[in-house]
Structure 1
Amino acid sequence: MGDPAYEEITREHPCYNKAAARWFGRIHLPVAPDCNIKCRYCTRLYDCANENRPGVTSHLMTPGEALQHVQRLVERDRCIRVVGVAGPGEPLANKATIYTLRLVHRRFPWLTKCISTNGLLLTESLPTLREAGVRAVTVTVNAVSPAVGSRIYDYVSYRGRVYKGAAGAELLWQAQSGGIRRARESGMVVKVNSVLIPGINDHHLEEVARAVKAAGAHVMNIIPLIPQGEFVGLLPPPPERVNLLRRKLSPIIDQMSHCRRCRADAAGRLG
């Protein structure tokens, strides 16, 4: 990509680098149960050991348990290169996230630390994230239009107030765009996840791609909808439609094509 920082950070990061995914693994630490927005496609009410989707974990960990978990897995699997927090709620809405990452960074400074966030609190969290060793950030951006976003998000909770409809969606995108820009300026690599929701944002994702690229994102990951929550009646987009959209948007921003829609407690290589 011509960006030395990006090349350095992602060389062994399986979520950013398809070639690295064959050889290197990651650990997701499920320490963050609380969330500050309500996505209409999200439900975290149950778990199945054979279910692979975001927001699912079999066990919530304390920071101390998470550190022990990393210790065990690193000793067992020398391919581990990345430790991150991706839920099962919003990592930055949980104090345990930063505490956990600090513990892991002190013990394993050579592991890449990353975080997956909705971006609402990203800007104000960047100083503590950098202190905790975080170098890679994934922001879920499903809409940059308040009208489209109001169909995806039921509410956004921010600083003691609840914002609904277009107001909540606009607040969220403004926070996301500012957070992406500042994360990039701070030297982090930034990936954007966008859930492809048929009939809701499928024709809007080109606008999303242009907006997140302008904000500073390095790469985009289009994730096909898993019908659940309020969108349980929708059909998931077929793979050929997802691939066609990725090809269409790749001239705008690089596209990830090997995502496994990992659980909040995923570990090992993506395969």
Structure 2
Amino acid sequence: MADEGYRNANVEGQEVPYDPEQLRKVQEHPCYSEKAHHTCGRCHLPVAPKCNIQCNYCIRDFDCVNESRPGVTSRVVKPDEALDLVKKVMDQFPYVKVIGIAGPGEPLANPETFETLRLVHEAFPHLIMCLSTNGLLLPDSIDELQKYDVGNVTVTLNAIDPAIGEQIYSYVNYRGTHYTGREAAEVLLEQQLEGIRMAVERKMFVKVNCVYIPGINDEHIPAIAKKVGELGAFSFNLIPLIPQYKLAHITPPTPTEKRAMQDRCAPFIKQMRHCARCRSDAIGRLGHDVQSRIYCGESGCGESKE
């Protein structure tokens, strides 16, 4: 997979010289490498229940075992429980190369995230550390993430125009102030763009998730891809809207529409085309989750299917 590692993070054809450790963070990460998702796995640790923004498409149910979407987990675990979980996963599923924190809320708004990163990094320094965030606290947290060798960061960014952003977010809570409307979208966007810039500056690989919302941000998405590509983000993951909460009335894009939008964005940044819309407690290879084997083993609920 060496050739894959030397492709430009933004536009294919331009080469960027990564060192071997950086290459590994691409080659063994199932979200950053289309080849790796067949052979390597990830383990998401659901240690972060609180969130500091409200997206108009987001409902976070912690106990819905039949749903596979971001923000869902069977239960929230404490940092020491998360470390025990990693130990069990590494014993049973050694193909897991990535430890990620993706919720079920906003990881950077929960102190448990940083304690978990510390514990896991100290015990398993060879594992790839990954984190997903809405970006609001990314500039404030970037140095601590670097301290724990978080080399892969995903930022969900759905608009670079606050007029569009205010249709997507109900509120933003930042540094003790509750923002709504256009002001909320402006505060969030400023932090997101600065956080991406700072992460790239620290040689972290940044993947940008963008929720494709027909009638709201659809014609705006290529501009988002262009902007984050210019900032040095590694890849762009277009996620079709799951219609719920305040956007339950919107019909999500079809697979054909999604592919067409990815093709429009491809000139600006590498496209991730194999996303499985992982839960916050996902374990295993993309599309072949095994977390129920771990959690059911704890509760004695019996063996489950992969």
TM range (shorter): over 0.9
**Hey, what's the Cα distance between the residues in 1 that align with 2:63 and 2:34?**
28
Please list the CA deviations of residues 182-237 of structure 1 after superposition, one character each: whole Å capped at 9, or x if unmatched: 10010100000000001010011011111111222111000000011111111111
**Hey, what's the Cα distance between the residues in 2 that align with 1:212 and 1:170?**
17
Please name the residue that 1:121 is paired with.
137
Letter in 1 for 2:131: I
If asked which structure has higher relative contact order (CA below 8 Å, sep 6+), I would say: 1
Please name the residue that 1:80 is paired with.
96
Alignment pair present for 1:89 and 2:95? no
**Hey, what's the Cα distance between the residues in 2 that align with 1:251 and 1:207?**
11
Please list the CA deviations of residues 118-147 of structure 1 after superposition, one character each: whole Å capped at 9, or x if unmatched: 001101101111111200000000000010
Alignment pair present for 1:8 and 2:24? yes
Q: Among the aligned pairs, what percent are the same residue?
A: 51
Alignment pair present for 1:21 and 2:66? no
Alpha carbons 2:63, 2:75 under 8 Å: kept: no
Please list the CA deviations of residues 70-97 of structure 1 after superposition, one character each: whole Å capped at 9, or x if unmatched: 0001000110100010000000000000
Identify which of 154, 158, 169 aligns with 1:153: 169
Alpha carbons 1:63, 1:100 under 8 Å: kept: yes
Alpha carbons 1:178, 1:215 under 8 Å: kept: no
**Hey, what's the Cα distance between the residues in 1 that align with 2:219 and 2:84?**
45
TM-score by length of 1: 0.98
Structure 1 residue runs of 4 or more that deviate by more than 6 Å after TM superposition = none
Cα displacement (A) at 1:169 = 0.6
Cα displacement (A) at 1:46 = 5.4
Please list the CA deviations of residues 12-59 of structure 1 after superposition, one character each: whole Å capped at 9, or x if unmatched: 000110100000000000000000000000001353222100000001
**Hey, what's the Cα distance between the residues in 1 that align with 2:96 and 2:24?**
16
Alpha carbons 1:102, 1:133 under 8 Å: kept: no
**Hey, what's the Cα distance between the residues in 2 that align with 1:237 and 1:132?**
38
Report SS of the residue matched to 1:204.
helix
Letter in 2 for 1:47: D
Identify which of 264, 270, 279 aligns with 1:254: 270
Alpha carbons 2:265, 2:271 under 8 Å: kept: yes
Please name the residue that 1:267 is paired with.
283
Matches within 5 A, 1:192-271: 192-271=208-287
Identify which of 72, 75, 88 aligns with 1:59: 75
Please name the residue that 1:182 is paired with.
198
**Hey, what's the Cα distance between the residues in 2 that align with 1:48 and 1:179?**
32
Deviation larger for 42-51 or 247-256:
42-51
Alignment pair present for 1:45 and 2:37? no
Alpha carbons 2:48, 2:113 under 8 Å: kept: yes
**Hey, what's the Cα distance between the residues in 1 that align with 2:213 and 2:261?**
12
Please name the residue that 1:69 is paired with.
85
Bigger Rg, structure 1 or 2: 2
**Hey, what's the Cα distance between the residues in 1 that align with 2:187 and 2:33?**
31
Report SS of the residue matched to 2:219.
coil
Report the count of equivalent residues: 271
Report SS of the residue matched to 2:54.
strand
Deviation larger for 177-186 or 42-51:
42-51
**Hey, what's the Cα distance between the residues in 2 that align with 1:225 and 1:199?**
11
